[in-house]
């Protein structure tokens, strides 16, 4: 008899996990009735949104294993008392890759060259480098640390800023200074490239509003791999239209960005459709995290990445 029951959405996770002795895997995408009255771990679909969590009402669930790092808005639908862990360790590498790709593409004019290439135009001209730029990382969690690690070979000057000023350690283990949000405007005034990787909270919603964007120097680039509402879209659009600022956005507000939204038509803009963590690296890392959570539950240990709810341990 299985001692743990784990629900998984349809797709590759079940095959990737294979057979785990003592674990019964059941397929459930949180639509329709629950396959069991009791689940040790429920893994919702990656693209299911927050609303699907309401399906857990009335089901005894020891742990919800979310497939994203961000979990803003889940408490509106998550039944009271159900613990939830986010997917830290899964998406940092892929999101950092995309942040760097967006910065490089925007700096070196790749979107313009691609569009001209489609028209068979050869129009060589100079674009700004990534090298020697002053880069401001807003947020200094796993994604920003991964971004910083990948920037280390590009000869940039990095400033770090987060909710609380502190001394932290980068991926190399070195102690580095982190400035607080109270210094946001001063830090923006000295930045040539801003990379946003903060969670969406009441404090970070609209963090880059009109007054903050106005502090950026002419020609600065805003890269957002956090959440769309961290940047005030209505304040950003006139800055793009005037040519004063540039942006590379993997996330937008609203999202998905409607086909008729005026942001699409702004110049100096590169948009990707929220694909930062969605790469071939996700499945093996998500699989490894679920395996670790299974072992922790078996041992009566606190799960990794617990961000909502308390953990009493035991079976």
Task: Report which of 202, 247, 187, 203 is spatially closest to residue 223, judged by C-alpha positions.
Answer: 247
Pairwise CA distance, residues 270 & 136, whole Å: 19
- Alpha helices (runs of H) in the chain, residue ranges in sequence order: 12-17, 92-107, 110-118, 142-151, 184-189, 210-215, 233-241, 282-298
Q: Which of 57, 60, 234, 255 is catalytic?
A: 255
Residue 79 has what DSSP assignment? P
Q: Which contiguous run of DSSP H or E holds residue 33?
A: none
Pairwise CA distance, residues 121 & 142, whole Å: 41
Pairwise CA distance, residues 178 & 159, whole Å: 8
Task: Report which of 193, 185, 192 is spatially closest to residue 211, judged by C-alpha positions.
Answer: 185
Bridge partners (DSSP) listed for residue 196: 138, 224
Residue 24 has what DSSP assignment? E
Q: Which of 62, 246, 274, 285 is catalytic?
A: 274
Q: Which of 62, 133, 179, 227 is catalytic?
A: 227
Active site residue 255: yes
Catalytic residues: 227, 255, 274
């Amino acid at each position: 008899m299985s001692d743990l029951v784990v629900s998984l959405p349809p797709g590759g996770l079940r095959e990737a996990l294979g057979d785990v002795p003592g674990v019964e895997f059941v397929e459930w995408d949180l639509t329709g009735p629950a396959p069991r009255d009791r689940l040790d771990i429920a893994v919702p679909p990656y693209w299911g949104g927050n609303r699907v969590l309401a399906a857990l009402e009335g089901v005894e669930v020891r742990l919800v294993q979310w497939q994203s790092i961000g979990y803003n808005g889940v408490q509106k639908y998550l039944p009271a008392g159900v613990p939830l862990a986010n997917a830290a360790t899964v998406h940092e590498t892929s999101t950092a890759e995309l942040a760097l790709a967006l910065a490089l593409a925007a700096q070196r004019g790749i979107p313009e060259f691609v569009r001209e290439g489609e028209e068979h135009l050869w129009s060589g001209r100079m674009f700004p480098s990534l090298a020697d730029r002053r880069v401001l990382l807003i947020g200094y969690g796993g994604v920003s640390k991964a971004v910083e690690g990948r920037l280390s070979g590009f000869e940039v000057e990095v400033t770090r800023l987060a909710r609380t000023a502190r001394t932290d350690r980068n991926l190399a283990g070195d102690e580095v200074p982190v400035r607080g949000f109270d210094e946001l405007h001063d830090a923006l005034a000295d930045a040539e490239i801003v990379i946003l990787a903060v969670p969406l909270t009441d404090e970070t919603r609209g963090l880059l509003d009109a007054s903050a964007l106005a502090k950026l120097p002419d020609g600065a680039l805003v890269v957002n791999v956090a959440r769309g509402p961290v940047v005030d879209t209505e304040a950003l659009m006139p800055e793009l239209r005037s040519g004063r600022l540039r942006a590379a956005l993997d996330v937008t507000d609203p999202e998905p960005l409607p086909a008729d939204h005026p942001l699409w038509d702004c110049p100096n803009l590169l948009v990707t459709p929220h694909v930062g963590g969605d790469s071939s690296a996700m499945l093996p890392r998500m699989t490894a995290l679920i395996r670790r959570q299974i072992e922790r539950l078996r041992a009566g240990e606190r799960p990794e990445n617990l961000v909502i709810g308390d953990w009493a341990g035991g079976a």
